[in-house]
Amino acid sequence: MCTHSFRHRKTGSLRPPLALAPMKTSLRDLRFRLLALGLGNLRDLVRRFSRAEPALALVLAFAAAHSLSAAGYGYREKPEPPANPEATLSPPAGLPPGAPPGTNAPADPYLYYANTPDEMIPFRNIEPYFRYWTTRLPFRGPGRDYPVSPGLESLKVGLLSPASYGPEGARGERTRHGVELAFEEANAARRPGELPFELVYREDSPQWGSAANIAVEFADEEVLGFLGTIDGDATHVALRATLKLEIYMINTSDPDPTLTETQIPWLTRVFPDDRQQCFRLADLVVRRHGCQRIGVFRESSRPGRVGVMHFNNYIRRLGFPPVQHLFFKPGDRDVRPQIEALKAADLDAILFYGQPEDVGRFVRQFRAAGIQAKFFGFDRLKEDSFKTHAGDAAEGTIITYFFNPQRTDPPWIEFVERFRKRWGHPPDVYAAYGYDGAQMMIQAVNHAGPNRYLIRDYLANLDTYDGVTGHMIFDGRWDNIVPISLAEFKNGAWHFQPAPPITPLEQQKLSQR
């Protein structure tokens, strides 16, 4: 039987499938189906054809019902939710680390919508029919009892990195340094008789879909999991292939907030996404600084679009939608039309999103043009190229940052020393999260053995993790939603502010796991 599901044009609710008649259905049944769809004229047409050409009439009726059902005729609205949803719906099952298959995950839901503040939640005054991402989707397929591959000589883990010649190449290189340090340390700690780890390194290319081909290469190499990458497009494509290949991916550097909305149960992201930065910035701009006339100036690219998307929504929900939202192309040098428009808007604050050298150049031009608005930005402005291009105009700029790299706790200090000794320079966030992601994968392999399904069970059921970057909290989409820090550029240097503490409610929910 052929069925179709489609969404209501206005409400977006899923329409129940409209069953179409099988080919053996009589012409009389098809006529009544057309009549039920309100298609009396087509019914008469089928009747006339049925007398002369019965076969043609059958094809005509079937095609008409198929096309019109797809267009939305004859559907029934989604039924009302039950009075007690918990009585009929149970959360998907999961497996805590080390538990046998079939163990249920805790029934308590994960923090909703990445722990976004209540006043910034979309449709916050309406109780939705269903809240997504409060429970984790399970993997119910086979594989946990698969035997180890014969002749296994090493424990392979993949690393998908951006092209070295592309705009993300330098960040990819720093990520690789962190990942390689983790595996070098793991191999140095292996005991006699234990298989060594082997890193399988691949670079992405600008060709669309190349990340999927690399994921297939990883499968051919029989990797137990892989790490990467920075570019949102490549990560999305690799994730779709991962779903079919059933190889777990730890993302260490992609801030795209849409990546985990598919909730594919083969991914954990240790790198906080742009949504975490956006609600922190919205609170900072509107509440702490009292800005009401806010502009957004971002690069014209997919990362730029999805990067500021949630910020625009958050400040709108706080009552102050963006007055101006203008673009620039990466590498632009002459943005005089945008400067004139932003200056005429008499803004209190401007949020920048783009490569740090571009933003630094524009910050200098904005100040030279007499724009006095407060400047805000994302984590990448911490890179040296921003202050190099901005000069004195960088003074007072405030950004979000994932953790304070100036902190003095032993795990971070010791990591910085080991990293500097190995590579000759201090680590940044990409190196640090690359190291933490690699350590998570190493721990999963050590715990589960060379079986990628058991490795998935271990990683997909982590709720918290403590690494060199600090404490991590994973939500129902496997996103790290730990509160992040702020930094202000004053007197030629970045000064960091502490991250907000974990609330008692968050701690209570985590303690129940």
Cross-strand pairs, 198: 156
Tell me if 341 sits within 8 A of 287, measured CB to CB. no
Q: Looking at the structure, tell me whether residues 394 and 445 fall in a common domain.
A: no
Instruction: State the average pLDDT for the chain.
Output: 83
What would the pLDDT profile of 106-141 be if each residue is shown by its tens digit? 446 787 777 888 899 888 888 888 888 888 999 999
What would the pLDDT profile of 168-215 be if each residue is shown by its tens digit? 999 999 999 999 999 999 999 999 999 999 999 999 987 878 999 999
User: Per the domain annotation, does 55 fall within a domain?
Assistant: yes
Buried-exposed string 216-246: b where 16+ CB fall within 10 A, e elsewhere: eebbeeebbbbbbbbbbbbbbbbbebbeebb
Domain boundary among 351, 371, 401: 401
> Which is more confidently placed, 440 or 302?
440
Residue 425 has pLDDT above 70, yes or no: yes
- Pick the closest to residue 364 from 384, 390, 403 (CA basis): 390
User: Per the domain annotation, does 491 fall within a domain?
Assistant: no
Domain boundary among 33, 56, 71: 71
Q: Looking at the structure, tell me whether residues 61 and 45 fall in a common domain.
A: yes
User: Per the domain annotation, does 498 fall within a domain?
Assistant: no
Tell me how far CA of residue 417 lies from CA of 188, 227, 425, 495, in angstroms: 17, 24, 9, 22
Mind spelling out the 3-state secondary structure of 401-456? Answer: ECCCCCCCCHHHHHHHHHHHHHHCCCCCHHHHHHHHHHHHHHHHHHHHCCCHHHHH
Question: What pLDDT, on a 0 to 100 scale, did the predictor assign at position 18?
Answer: 35
For residue 82, the 8-state DSSP code is P
> What is the arithmetic mean of pLDDT over 310-318?
96
Question: What pLDDT, on a 0 to 100 scale, did the predictor assign at position 104?
Answer: 36
Confidence class for position 51, pLDDT limits 50, 70, 90: low
Secondary structure (3-state) at 513: coil
Question: What pLDDT, on a 0 to 100 scale, did the predictor assign at position 448?
Answer: 96
Q: Looking at the structure, tell me whether residues 472 and 415 fall in a common domain.
A: yes
What backbone torsions phi and psi does residue 35 show, to the nearest 5 degrees?
A: -65, -40
> What is the arithmetic mean of pLDDT over 366-379?
97
Q: What CATH number is attached to the domain comprising 216?
A: 3.40.50.2300
Question: What pLDDT, on a 0 to 100 scale, did the predictor assign at position 132?
Answer: 83
**Which domain range does residue 214 map to?**
155-272+408-482
User: Per the domain annotation, does 38 fall within a domain?
Assistant: yes
User: Per the domain annotation, does 379 fall within a domain?
Assistant: yes
Q: Looking at the structure, tell me whether residues 236 and 350 fall in a common domain.
A: no
Q: Looking at the structure, tell me whether residues 419 and 319 fall in a common domain.
A: no
For residue 381, the 8-state DSSP code is G
Question: What pLDDT, on a 0 to 100 scale, did the predictor assign at position 99?
Answer: 44
> Which is more confidently placed, 124 or 222?
222
Question: What pLDDT, on a 0 to 100 scale, did the predictor assign at position 52?
Answer: 54
> What is the arithmetic mean of pLDDT over 92-116?
53
Q: Which residues contact 493 (CB under 8 A, 6 or more apart)?
A: none
Query: What percent of the chain shows pLDDT beyond 70?
Result: 77
Residue 67 has pLDDT above 70, yes or no: no
Q: Looking at the structure, tell me whether residues 281 and 394 fall in a common domain.
A: yes
For residue 106, the 8-state DSSP code is P
Q: Looking at the structure, tell me whether residues 452 and 342 fall in a common domain.
A: no
Amino acid sitting at position 120: M
User: Per the domain annotation, does 60 fall within a domain?
Assistant: yes
Domain boundary among 401, 417, 438: 401
> Which is more confidently placed, 403 or 511?
403
Q: Looking at the structure, tell me whether residues 243 and 326 fall in a common domain.
A: no
Q: Looking at the structure, tell me whether residues 159 and 195 fall in a common domain.
A: yes
Confidence class for position 59, pLDDT limits 50, 70, 90: low
User: Per the domain annotation, does 279 fall within a domain?
Assistant: yes
> What is the arithmetic mean of pLDDT over 31-60?
51
Question: What pLDDT, on a 0 to 100 scale, did the predictor assign at position 252?
Answer: 96
Question: What pLDDT, on a 0 to 100 scale, did the predictor assign at position 12?
Answer: 43
What would the pLDDT profile of 254-287 be if each residue is shown by its tens digit? 999 999 988 899 999 999 999 999 999 999 999 9
> Which is more confidently placed, 78 or 506?
506
- Pick the closest to residue 439 from 413, 462, 421 (CA basis): 462
Number of alpha carbons in the 13 Å side-chain half-sphere of residue 72:
8
Beta strand spans in 149-233 (E)? 155-161, 197-203, 225-227
**What domain count does the chain have?**
3
What would the pLDDT profile of 402-423 be if each residue is shown by its tens digit? 999 999 999 999 999 999 999 9
Cross-strand pairs, 398: 376, 488
Distance, CA of 108 to chain centre: 23
Q: How many CB atoms lie within 10 A of CB 72?
A: 14
- The alpha carbon dihedral of 240, 245, 250, 251 has a sign of negative
Q: Looking at the structure, tell me whether residues 372 and 423 fall in a common domain.
A: no
Name the least confident of 68-77, 140-149, 264-273: 68-77
Is there a cis peptide before residue 229, judged by omega within 30 degrees of 0?
Answer: yes
Question: What pLDDT, on a 0 to 100 scale, did the predictor assign at position 39?
Answer: 46
Does residue 74 come out as left (phi exceeding 0), alpha (psi in the -120 to 50 range) or beta? left
Q: Report the run of H or E that residue 490 belongs to, with start and end.
A: strand 485-490
Mutual angle of helices 356-368 and 336-344, in 10-degree steps: 60
Q: Looking at the structure, tell me whether residues 423 and 394 fall in a common domain.
A: no
Residue 151 has pLDDT above 50, yes or no: yes
Tell me how far CA of residue 355 lies from CA of 247, 330, 361, 388, in angstroms: 32, 7, 10, 13
Confidence class for position 79, pLDDT limits 50, 70, 90: very low
Q: Looking at the structure, tell me whether residues 182 and 220 fall in a common domain.
A: yes
User: Per the domain annotation, does 355 fall within a domain?
Assistant: yes
Q: Parallel, antiparallel, or unpaired: how do β-strands 155-161 and 225-227 relate? A: parallel
Q: Which residues contact 225 (CB under 8 A, 6 or more apart)?
A: 157, 158, 247, 248, 249, 250, 441, 444, 445, 452, 455, 459
Beta strand spans in 231-302 (E)? 248-251, 267-269, 294-299
Confidence class for position 10, pLDDT limits 50, 70, 90: very low
